[in-house]
Amino acid sequence: MRRSLVLASAATAVLGLLTGCSAEGEGSGSGRTTLSVAALEGGYGRDMYTQVIQAYESAHPEVDVQLQISKSIEDEITPNMKAGRFPDVVVLGQGRKAALTETLIKDKALEDLTPVLRAKVPGEDKTVGDKLIEGIVGNLNTNPYGDDKTYTMPMYYAPTGLFYNKGLFDQKGWKVPATWDEMFALGETAKKEKIALFTYPTAGYLDSYFFALLADVGGERFYTDVMTYKQGVWQTPQARQVLDLTTRLLKYAAPTTVGYANEQDFTKNQQSVLDDKALFMPNGTWIVGEMADAPRADGFAWGLTPLPAVTAGGKRYITTSVESVWVPSAAKNKDAAKAFVAYLYSDAAAKIFAKSNAIQPIEGIVSSLSAENAEFYKVYEDPSVAALVGGFAGTAPVEGVDIKAALFDTANSIISGDKTRDQWQSALDDASEKLRQAGN
């Protein structure tokens, strides 16, 4: 698994900066350190955090870890942070609509965690940095200011791509499309059997799709140009090709996609793949745990594939989702927080996380995964596939401009017919130019 990941921009445009100053937290009053940990309850669930904390407290009786976990953790901790009451450790990546991590990055309100990389993992001989796979730190996702200092530690990583039912393909004798021509031909074949070619949980899940497609079409340089708002980038032939392919793909979307593409009903779009009503959807490996108890077609088996190649035999990219852990610079117990973060990379913690399919970027961990999960991570072993880490570069906020909404959410309007491809391209060009100017 030691392979360099593509280094790319990794902060999205922020919606506003937090205000407030730090305030002293409260200890337990018994000489113990009270460490507050806030975590997003994502597709991996919450039990793994409880188990890791119990293991940590058993080995460190002088520390009392208090966990706050929620599916909308930003909404719960932001008011306290504005009032100067900061958690000590936060497990929350970038790319969320609330953009809390991005906001603190812009505000330079995160603690430098570079010393954690050099620290030994509690109870082990190796340092945290020694255990991490090559290339997972040192990019703009972990080092957002482009220097040698790490502010967000990579907590979990997962290949994202098109998920599908391998059992259905075996049953029908269909091949997973290797090119876009094959993809659209399969769309026609599936249509005859009343199966949609494509769906997505919500339009936001198209981030992994678009990031990979941009690199597939124009290479890493073009991808970086888009992520950093190069002037006129959305007027280029490469940008047009990206939107052409996507507009064509969306014509094969399941008719229920837009109606269910919201925070309440998104699992219904995911269920359409399990029910063989749709073939492909963009997602990450957490889908296995998230839909573990959902009914499914006979013979169902999860499969993962990168996007089809733009040209036969061409290089393909797969977006790597990296969730982060960080320490606010205004946290009270920063030393204790750093020690806890180091423990999160221990073999004991990694084993607990892996049981919930939360895979950490630790050398050799793939060999210990379940057969199903290990199959997903084999995508990195394909020499024709390269990994992307990153997203849109951060700029000063621009009122009324959301580049992610312009790129991803417009897919709903393309499916419904409310917007055209030309309008899509024009809106992206306008948003990108405004952000370019804001970044200068």
Instruction: Write out the DSSP string of 139-208.
Output: STTTSTTSSS---SEEEEEEEEEEEEEHHHHHHHTPPPPSBHHHHHHHHHHHHHTT-EEE--SSGGGHHH
Q: Are 212 and 319 in contact (CB under 8 A)?
A: yes
Q: Is the pLDDT of residue 18 over 50?
A: no
**Which residue has tokens 């013979």?**
299
Distances, alpha carbon 409 to alpha carbons 22, 167, 203, 216, in Å? 36, 31, 5, 21
Provide the pLDDT for residue 43: 80
List all residues 6 or more positions away from 149 whose beta carbon is below 8 Å from its beta carbon.
112, 114, 143
**Other Cβ atoms within 10 Å of 143 Cβ, number:** 18
Nearest-angstrom CA–CA distance, 272 and 194? 12
Question: pLDDT class for 395, splitting at 50, 70, 90?
Answer: confident
What is d(CA 138, CA 104) in angstroms, rounded to the nearest whole number?
Answer: 19
Alpha-carbon dihedral of residues 175, 176, 182, 186, nearest 10 degrees? Answer: 80
**pLDDT number for residue 394:** 67
The H or E element containing residue 402 is none
* Alpha carbon distance 186, 280 (integer Å): 11
Confidence of residue 370 (pLDDT cuts 50, 70, 90): confident
324, 78 contact by CB (below 8 A): no
Q: Output the pLDDT for position 30.
A: 55
Q: Tell me, what's the pLDDT at 92? A: 94
pLDDT digits (tens, 9 = 90+) for 220-230: 899 989 988 99
Average pLDDT of 350-378?
Answer: 86
Instruction: Look at residues 144, 138, 154 and name the one whose alpha carbon lies nearest to residue 102.
Output: 144
**H or E stretch at 224:** helix 206-227
Paired tokens of 115: 């010393």
- Of 16-25, 152-161, 268-277, minimum mean pLDDT range: 16-25
The DSSP code sequence of 307-320 is: PPBSSTT--EEEEE
- The 10 Å Cβ neighbour count of residue 41 is 14
pLDDT tens figures, 131-161: 998 878 887 788 888 789 999 999 999 899 9
- Per-residue model confidence (pLDDT) at position 292: 92
Choice among 279-283, 302-306, 362-366, 392-396 with the minimum mean pLDDT: 392-396
Predicted pLDDT of residue 23 = 33
